[in-house]
A = this chain, B = another copy of it.
Amino acid sequence: MEILGGPLYAVAGAGESHGPAITTIVFGCPPGFYLRAADIQRYLDRRRPGSNKHGTPRREDDTVAILSGLYQDNIERLTAGPALRLGEGEDAQTTTAYAEGYTTGEPIAAVVLSTAKKSADYAQFTGGQGEVRPGHTDLVKHYKSLGHVDVRGGGRSSYRSTISDVIGGSLARLLLAELFGVAIFSSIVQVGPLQAANRLADHLEALHQQHGGVIPPALLDELETQLLQAEIHTHDAAFARAAGQLIKQTRIDGDSLGAAVEVVAVNVPALAGDPLYQSLKLRIMGSLGGLNAVQGVEVGAGFAVAGRRGSENNDPIRSDGYQRNSHGGLIGGITTGAPLVCRVAFKPTSTIVKPQLSVRKNLEEIDFQLQKGRHDPCVGVRAGVTLESRLAIELLNAVLMHQAQRIDPAQFRLFGGQAGAA
């Protein structure tokens, strides 16, 4: 099952890059939260190619249409979303998507239509004689699907599938913000050979210590604004400029670049996450490390810990909390309340213009030369919102898992004199 998170908060996704739509169902959203489609749209807009200066030049509108799971008695306001029409002429069926309402606790479905399709670009890869793009899923999926894989734009394995991640993650972060004041950020820290000097994690850990574990909303809003205005989505302005230049040049060279991205959550509720086999650490490592194009993932101090001694790595504890954050907010897979800190490494975009050695799907050898198509030269550049989303999904699921173990009989009453009322 194509499901992120779960078993409590879970996001199901479906849809190929150039198929009719990306479909998403979000399960386990507790009832009673007021939600606006616009709140989700904001994060989808960050995900969209063209939303930054260095992504792919394709334009995708990616308007979210919410189809279930919200309610308010003011039906007019509830259904003030965009009109949705199926079929044409007299037989056409029309409805309107939800604009805003309270979560009901039932599944929230959403579709994002895919309209910017140039399928002719993909003739090179079609059929049993189709060419295999190095680094892509073309070959394995051709054989796995018995020849029936959608090659247009990477099919389901396209980054377009992350629309579901972002929808599910947007809902999760809105709830986490309302319940605990959680805020989740990402920052690009490496683009090819260039590395950022300023780390977002350092900045947020300092704020966390300084504000006694609860960073005020105003500071978080300010940080968000700054990140959104940067040349690329990073906390380091000088690095942003240099990286932007390098990306531009690399696109011209017909090549691509790897990247590394930090993800940090602050004002994190403590005690969330199970230990061991379904620990929040395991879940986050999987969810972030499993994202397309990611080849490595770290929590806290990450690979640096391999070179350390225990006396330098153990974080000292005082009555107001951990004094450092080598542990990255998780001990034993359980949140400590310190910032959740992760980093992932993205490989360079596989699609490049430079010639490469490859095969046809029938394994006949070829000199591969991309004929058409436009792509991000650095996939890491717009991946931040997806990483934030996946972190939010796992964190909300962990919160629900912990809450399940704290039973309050008062939550199980219907009529006055009923059992559990005692």
0/1 interface trace, chain A 364-405, chain B, CB 8 Å (1 if under): 110000000000000010000000000000000001111111
Q: Does A86 contact B (CB under 8 A)?
A: yes
Interface hit among A38-46, A50-58, A99-107, A229-237: A99-107
0/1 interface trace, chain A 280-322, chain B, CB 8 Å (1 if under): 0111011111111011111111111111111101111111110
Contact B85 A318 (CB under 8 A): no
With known contacts A270-B418, A331-B136, A275–B352 Cβ distance under 8 A: no
Contact A214 B419 (CB under 8 A): yes
A287 to B277, CA, bound (A): 8
Contact B345 A305 (CB under 8 A): yes
A71 to B412, CA, bound (A): 29
Contact B295 A290 (CB under 8 A): no
Residues of B within 8 A of A27 (CB): 1-2, 12
Within the complex, the shortest CB–CB distance from A314 to chain B, in Å, comes to: 4
Q: Which of B67, B157, B193 contacts A332 (CB 8 A)?
A: B157
A23 to B97, CA, bound (A): 12
- Give how many A residues have a beta carbon under 8 Å from the other chain's beta carbons: 207
Contact A275 B19 (CB under 8 A): no
Contact B61 A93 (CB under 8 A): yes
Contact A115 B93 (CB under 8 A): yes
Contact B83 A65 (CB under 8 A): no
A193 to B279, CA, bound (A): 29
A144 to B96, CA, bound (A): 27
Q: Does A111 contact B (CB under 8 A)?
A: yes
A133 to B123, CA, bound (A): 58
Give 26 A-B contacts (CB < 8 Å), ordered by A residue: A12-B25, A13-B107, A30-B406, A84-B84, A95-B113, A106-B156, A134-B317, A140-B270, A141-B275, A157-B332, A192-B308, A214-B419, A255-B311, A258-B305, A269-B420, A279-B290, A286-B286, A289-B289, A289-B297, A296-B299, A297-B297, A305-B347, A316-B356, A319-B359, A402-B412, A403-B411
Contact B20 A417 (CB under 8 A): no
Q: Does A197 contact B (CB under 8 A)?
A: no
Q: Does A244 contact B (CB under 8 A)?
A: no
Contact A95 B67 (CB under 8 A): no
Contact A313 B16 (CB under 8 A): no
Within the complex, the shortest CB–CB distance from A15 to chain B, in Å, comes to: 4
A407 to B113, CA, bound (A): 33
Contact A145 B104 (CB under 8 A): yes
Within the complex, the shortest CB–CB distance from A18 to chain B, in Å, comes to: 9
Contact B336 A414 (CB under 8 A): yes
| A-B contacts besides A21-B84, A104-B156, 17 pairs, CB < 8 Å | A20-B84, A23-B23, A61-B93, A82-B87, A135-B315, A140-B332, A156-B276, A257-B309, A269-B420, A281-B294, A283-B286, A285-B294, A297-B297, A320-B415, A321-B414, A326-B347, A404-B404
CB closest chain-B residue, reference A363 = B319
Q: Does A218 contact B (CB under 8 A)?
A: no
Contact A135 B213 (CB under 8 A): no
Residues of B within 8 A of A22 (CB): 68
Of residues A31, A82, A93, A152, which shows the largest number of chain B Cβ atoms within 10 Å of its Cβ?
A93
